[in-house]
A and B are shown apart, each in its own frame.
Chain A
């Protein structure tokens, strides 16, 4: 029977300068970090920079790591804050370029409609303030609770509620304007 080492145990090993443990953490969590960064920034080059920087920051502070929360919480925190910082340093990218995805729909019209819809949503998300955008991504695409989002963003549950409320209102307004 294969024993799976928990993330927190791997992180403690990384704190002892075990690069094999770090490699395993990267392998397990790079996809999550990439998803958040790509949806937040909309640019694959910046997203890759954020993912790399996030893991290297985790590596640098590993000797001081204490497993008081799940490693994933810590990862969300580092990635979310890096994305917000990156976004603040540049103007929103209004990208019409969406990645090609495996489309399970046999109907070309549906596929096209989906692609158009994705482009509109991308544009609407890019127009949100960086913190509202991050709250939306963590809620809708990562399915985090308000508490988890609050920890990742270094804020309160009430503030997350307000961020999501404002984001929904703005998205609704901009998406309904586009449809008209």
Chain B
């Protein structure tokens, strides 16, 4: 091994961190190279200087007690603060959060699905005596704002009313 390479390993060598296969090569170079041995002694000298220096005062009195007091303050019952429980699920929450036009469109879509289903099987449902109540009661339309005239919603509501009337006449 060359001096430059050995010197790159000197710190690790002093610290006992050189892999075994390199350790022997470094040692045999050091045995033969006075310059590198000198450098090794400088590194060891620095280590001896550092070790045993910088005395540390005792742990401040009451430190553990202060840590525990803060720990209890953060966990008064020994149980960490859990996230606030989720609000009860409201199936109609999503409707309330929509803008008025979107609300109408959503309702119209639902209504269309119901109307389509009923029109396809209106007689059978009548036979089953499910009965068509007033469209507004059945579809819960009293919950919503009145559909503006000529709007899609108003058209669907009119269709629902017609079906209702047809059903009640049968």
Residue pair B68, A19 in contact (C-beta under 8 Å): yes
Residue pair A175, B49 in contact (C-beta under 8 Å): yes
Residues of B near A35 (CB, < 8 A) are 56
> Please, how many residues of chain A have a CB less than 8 angstroms from a CB on the other chain?
45
Please measure, in the bound complex, the distance between the C-alpha atom of A55 and the C-alpha atom of B68, giving whole angstroms.
9
Residue pair B74, A56 in contact (C-beta under 8 Å): yes
Residue pair B50, A38 in contact (C-beta under 8 Å): no
Q: Name the contact of B51 in the complex, choosing from A30, A140, A172, A175 (C-beta under 8 A).
A: A140
Please measure, in the bound complex, the distance between the C-alpha atom of A38 and the C-alpha atom of B59, giving whole angstroms.
10
> How many contacts between A and B, using CB within 8 angstroms?
100
Q: Which residues of B contact A (CB under 8 A)?
A: 11-12, 15, 17, 42-43, 46-47, 49-51, 53-57, 59-60, 63-64, 66-68, 70-72, 74-75, 78-80
- A-B contacts, 21 listed (Cβ < 8 Å): A18-B78, A19-B71, A22-B68, A26-B68, A35-B56, A38-B57, A44-B57, A44-B60, A59-B74, A59-B75, A63-B80, A118-B53, A118-B54, A122-B54, A140-B50, A140-B51, A141-B50, A146-B12, A146-B17, A161-B17, A164-B15
* Binary contact track A63-85/B, C-beta < 8 Å → 1, others 0: 10000000000000000000000
Which secondary structure dominates where chain A touches chain B?
A: helix
Residue pair B57, A19 in contact (C-beta under 8 Å): no
Q: Determine the residue in chain A with the shortest Cβ distance to B79.
A: A17
Please measure, in the bound complex, the distance between the C-alpha atom of A171 and the C-alpha atom of B11, giving whole angstroms.
14
Please measure, in the bound complex, the distance between the C-alpha atom of A30 and the C-alpha atom of B40, giving whole angstroms.
36
Chain B CB within 8 A of A168 CB: yes
Residue pair B49, A121 in contact (C-beta under 8 Å): yes
Chain B CB within 8 A of A145 CB: yes
Residues of A near B11 (CB, < 8 A) are 161, 164-165, 168
Q: Determine the residue in chain B with the shortest Cβ distance to A146.
A: B17
Residues of B near A99 (CB, < 8 A) are 55-57
Find the residue from A55, A56, A140 having the highest chain B CB count within 10 A: A140
Q: Name the contact of A172 in the complex, choosing from B42, B63, B67, B68 (C-beta under 8 A).
A: B42
Residues of B near A168 (CB, < 8 A) are 11, 43, 46
Residue pair B50, A39 in contact (C-beta under 8 Å): no
Residues of A near B56 (CB, < 8 A) are 34-35, 38-39, 99
Q: Determine the residue in chain A with the shortest Cβ distance to B60.
A: A48
Please measure, in the bound complex, the distance between the C-alpha atom of A140 and the C-alpha atom of B48, giving whole angstroms.
9
Minimal beta-carbon separation of A168 from chain B (angstroms): 5
Minimal beta-carbon separation of A93 from chain B (angstroms): 14
Residues of A near B55 (CB, < 8 A) are 98-99, 101, 118
Chain B CB within 8 A of A88 CB: no
Q: Determine the residue in chain A with the shortest Cβ distance to B64.
A: A26
Q: Name the contact of B78 in the complex, choosing from A17, A48, A101, A165 (C-beta under 8 A).
A: A17
Residues of A near B75 (CB, < 8 A) are 17, 19, 59
Please measure, in the bound complex, the distance between the C-alpha atom of A157 and the C-alpha atom of B17, giving whole angstroms.
10
Closest CB pairs A-B (n = 4): A99-B57, A101-B55, A140-B50, A17-B78
Residues of A near B64 (CB, < 8 A) are 23, 26-27, 30
Residues of B near A23 (CB, < 8 A) are 64, 68
Find the residue from B12, B55, B60 having the highest chain A CB count within 10 A: B55
Residues of A near B60 (CB, < 8 A) are 34, 44, 48
Residues of A near B53 (CB, < 8 A) are 117-118, 121
